[in-house]
Structures are given as C-alpha cells and as structure tokens.
Amino acid sequence: MKKLIFVLLLSFLLSACSTSFETTRIVDEKTNSIVVLSSPIKIHGLSQFDQFELYISFISQQYTNKEDQYFFSIKYLGYQFPKMDYMKLDIDGIIYESAPDRVPIFKQDGVVGYSEEVYFPVNRNIIEDILELNRTRMTIKGYLIDVEIDWKGNWIDYLKEFYIDATKKS
C-alpha cells in the first residue's frame, strides 16, 4: 500500500512539475511569416469513471500558398484510455467530429508509464470557441469527458490575442 501511495504521489509531482505554459512560435526566415503556433495547456477532465489530466495543444500551421491548418494535439497517459482513434467535440451544443490525421506517437514517461499523443485536424472557429467558453465536452471512444481548461493568470486573454489577432501573416 505504501508503495502504491508513493508511486501515485511521485507521478503527481512529475506531472505537476512538467507543465509548460509557454507558447512556441516557429517563423520562416525567408518569408518572415509564422509557420507553426503551438500553445500547451493543461486541462482537467472528468469522465464517466474517473478524473484525469491530459495536455492539449492548439496548433496552427500557416502557409503562404495554402490554407492555414489547425490541430488539437492531445497527450494523455496510455493506461487512462484506450487508443484515441475518433473524437467528438460538443462546444456550446454544436457537435464537431474528427479523426486523427496521423498515427499516435507513443513515448515512455518514466515511472508513470507511456503516454500517447494524437493530432486531430479542426477548424479555426473551434479553437476560437473553446477559447471563448473555457470548457467543452469530448466523446472519445465512448467516454464522455467534461473538460475545463485550467488557465493560469491572464492566459485566456493572451491566447485569444495570439490565435485570433496575431495569426495574421506578418
């Protein structure tokens, strides 16, 4: 029992210390335009069976000659869910459905086990809606998940500016 408590405490500390709220911006040197915007955000979820944490990134890939693309990157511990191969988002009563556009990335995360990261292509307005609402519902492989975004300080305002205003080509 003591070992189990120690492992759970250690995994909690590792996940709490590894949270990053920095926004990554990759700029093309030739055209000086933004190529990728990525903002990791820690969110808390509550499924029908358990509480859990997962990490979501809103990713924007911008191109000069093509339409911009937006993705959810969702990272979670592999033992918490079966593989995510399909996702429904319920944002303010509007249902969006999406399937990943690539194979999940598996990575060993120390004592905690392995994590899985999945990329879902979405429309820009979905990201804007989530930034406005601060919460959403997801259905992943039959699990209904209430998601509340854990904003730190003024991150909601910063990300709104970043995704809604600053995505214009510079």
| Span 86-137, pLDDT tens digits | 667 776 677 777 766 656 566 665 555 566 666 777 777 777 777 666 666 6
Alpha-carbon span 170 to 167, nearest angstrom: 8
Quote the DSSP letter at residue 31.
Answer: T
Task: Give the residue from 36, 53, 136, 132 showing the smallest Cα distance to 91.
Answer: 136
Of 2-16, 59-73, 121-135, 142-156, which has the strongest mean pLDDT? 121-135
Three-point CA angle 94, 100, 32, nearest 5° = 95
Distance CA 57, CA 132 (A): 16
Residue whose structure tokens are 């890939």: 61
Domains defined along the chain, listed by start: 2-165 (2.60.40)
- Residue predicted with more confidence, 113 or 58: 58
**Its pTM surpasses 0.75:** no
